[in-house]
Amino acid sequence: MMLAFIAVAAAGDTPRLPSLSEADWAELRAGKVLLHAESAGARVTASGVVLVDAPPEVLWPAVLDVAARIPENRTLTAVHEYRRDGPQQWCLQVDMSVLGAEVRIHHQYRWDPAENVATYTLDPTRTNDLARADGWYLVRAAEGGAVLAYEAVTEAKVPVPGWVKKWLARDQLEGLLQGIRTRAERGRPTGVLKTSD
């Protein structure tokens, strides 16, 4: 399913919700995850939106608990917090197995609870197996719950066929947003910013 919008926000722009049509809202209310992925050279941009039957304060712990995604994502193998720069800034090592290749990246996360935005980018002080892996999450109260929008921009260091990149981006994105929604709607606290060792 393709989104009616082209992209949530261009890379580097301030995160913002897309303009959603009535058809988009109907899809969201029906439980669908709206997805868009495009590939340009080595870069893939993937974005998605999901409606969650939980308020933002319940949704955020599910968004930020990256370690809870391990059983939900067949490519994610480990998450380890290696530095904390404050209650809203921390660094994670993320290990993945992608089509038989082991991939390790190091992300710097920043969460702005007042703006309901969390962003991440590669930590330039660490070795990373991707040339780029940046993204953001944006939450807004809506429909008695919340809307979660997400965008990720990745770029491999080695050539990868475009169809593989887009397939991975869409497949991973849909699973990510569905997993976050399920955990938030269950209402079980996952522990904001808690990661595995």
Residue 12 has pLDDT above 90, yes or no: no
**E strand or H helix at 24:** helix 22-29
Task: Give domain 22-78+133-186's CATH architecture.
Answer: 2-Layer Sandwich (3.30)
C-alpha 125/C-alpha 106 separation (Å) is: 9
Residue 94 has pLDDT above 60, yes or no: yes
| Domain boundaries defined on the chain | 22-78+133-186
Residue 159 tokens, joined: 């050539």
Interval 46-62: pLDDT, tens: 899 999 999 999 999 99
C-alpha 122/C-alpha 110 separation (Å) is: 12
Compute the mean pLDDT over every residue in the chain, rounded to the nearest whole number. Answer: 85
Residue 162 has pLDDT above 50, yes or no: yes
The mean pLDDT of 118-140, rounded to a whole number, is 95
Number of H helices, E strands in the chain: 3, 8
Q: DSSP readout, 160-175?
A: --HHHHHHHHHHHHHH
Residue 140 has pLDDT above 70, yes or no: yes
Would you say how long the chain is, in residues?
A: 197
Residue 20 has pLDDT above 50, yes or no: yes
